[in-house]
């Protein structure tokens, strides 16, 4: 690659949004600041209550904006974005996440050097909470289990070959799930430390019940779908105990409700089982998270 024009042939940016126009406007302005506004940018609005209040085309001439009148959820929309793209790589950003430093071109060059890539994970820092949500532990790229949803680079064709995210998960856990499927097909995730993403989410206004419920529910599913059968009962038992303790500690019942919902619906989704062998599971377990 020699510049952004070549980069635009390889990478598209995909953003899903709903009722967060101010966040989206800031993200697009930040994309412009770091010189990535020349890339194709696909935005799917998952049925916001009102139309976009600003001139979105003023922030990039490459934006393709799609507004839907029926909400399907962000997992569905992210799959649809991947299907609508033409480029090899899909830089997925939350509507409140944006790159601030480092080189996307260098990240893509590293991606191009790999023949087993599913996804590049990046360091993610939350300036509102003044903490890393995904921290680099080495100055050079290294393999990891999975990636963080608010900022990552997917090999689009392999993502689609896997069938995309499991839409039955509804909310949370989709990245870990697809990474586990990919791992068993010898497609891997790597952490690339030299492309920093800021994620400006705050805890204010978060739907903790929804997060607790689906986080716990989908963890039960993940254990059932991927944990080796020799370890599954022990793992599910330990997970259940930890949910009880945490729910009592924070005074929220969402995790317990999600745990029971997951256990109740295990048989409904048993066709998704792709249990790892003990050897593969140990290889997976020994990697850094993301």
The reported pLDDT for the residue numbered 185 is 98
d(CA 213, CA 46): 21
Residue 83's Cβ-count burial label (10 Å; 0-12, 13-18, 19+) is exposed
Q: Tell me if residue 152 falls in helix, strand or coil.
A: strand
Task: Give pLDDT, residue 231.
Answer: 96
Distant-in-sequence, close-in-space partners of 9: CB < 8 Å, separation ≥ 6: 87
Whole-structure pTM value: 0.95
Strands 131-134 and 151-155: unpaired
pLDDT at 20: 94
What's the confidence (pLDDT) of residue 240? 87
- What is the rounded CA–CA span in Å between residue 115 and residue 117? 6
The helix/strand count (H/E) of the chain reads as: 10, 12
Return the pLDDT at 201.
83
pLDDT, tens digit, 9 for 90 and up, residues 111-167: 999 999 999 999 999 999 999 999 999 999 999 999 999 999 999 999 999 999 999
Match 């820092």 to its residue by tokens: 125
Closest CA to 94 of 150, 18, 40: 150
Q: How far apart are CA 237 and CA 170, in angstroms?
A: 24
Do residues 34 and 15 make contact, with C-beta atoms less than 8 angstroms apart?
Answer: no
With a cut of 50, list the residues of the chain below it in pLDDT: 2, 5
Scanning the structure block, which residue is given the tokens 């509507």? Answer: 95
| pLDDT confidence of residue 2 | 46
Q: 4-199 has which CATH code?
A: 3.90.550.10
| pLDDT for position 248 | 83
DSSP H/E element including 255: helix 254-264
pLDDT at 204: 53
Within 13 Å of residue 28, how many CA atoms lie on the same side as its CB? 26
Helix (H) or strand (E) holding 160: helix 156-161
Report helix, strand or coil for 38: coil
């Amino acid at each position: 690659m020699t510049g952004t024009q070549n980069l635009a042939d390889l990478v598209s940016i995909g953003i899903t949004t709903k009722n967060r126009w101010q966040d989206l406007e800031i993200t697009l302005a930040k994309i412009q600041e770091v010189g990535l506004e020349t890339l194709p940018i696909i935005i799917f609005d998952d049925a916001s209550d009102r139309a976009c209040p600003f001139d979105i085309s003023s922030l990039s001439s490459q934006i393709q904006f799609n507004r839907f009148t029926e909400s399907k959820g962000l997992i569905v929309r992210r799959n649809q974005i991947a299907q609508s793209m033409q480029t090899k790589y899909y830089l997925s950003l939350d509507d409140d996440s944006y790159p601030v430093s480092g080189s996307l071109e260098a990240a893509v060059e590293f991606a191009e050097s790999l023949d087993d890539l599913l996804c590049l994970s990046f360091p993610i820092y939350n300036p509102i909470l003044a903490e890393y949500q995904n921290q680099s532990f080495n100055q050079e790229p290294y393999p990891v289990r999975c990636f963080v949803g608010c900022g990552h680079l997917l090999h689009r064709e392999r993502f689609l070959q896997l069938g995309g995210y499991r839409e039955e998960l509804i909310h949370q856990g989709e990245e870990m799930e697809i990474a586990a499927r990919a791992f068993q097909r010898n497609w891997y995730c790597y952490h690339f430390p030299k492309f920093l993403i800021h994620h400006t989410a705050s805890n204010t206004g978060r739907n903790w019940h929804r997060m607790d419920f689906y986080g716990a529910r989908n963890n039960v599913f993940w254990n059932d779908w991927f944990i080796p059968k020799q370890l599954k009962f022990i793992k599910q038992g330990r997970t259940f105990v930890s949910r009880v303790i945490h729910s009592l500690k924070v005074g929220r019942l969402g995790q317990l409700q999600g745990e029971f919902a997951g256990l109740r619906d295990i048989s409904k989704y048993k066709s998704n089982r792709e249990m790892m062998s003990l050897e593969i599971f140990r290889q997976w377990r020994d990697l850094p998270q993301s």
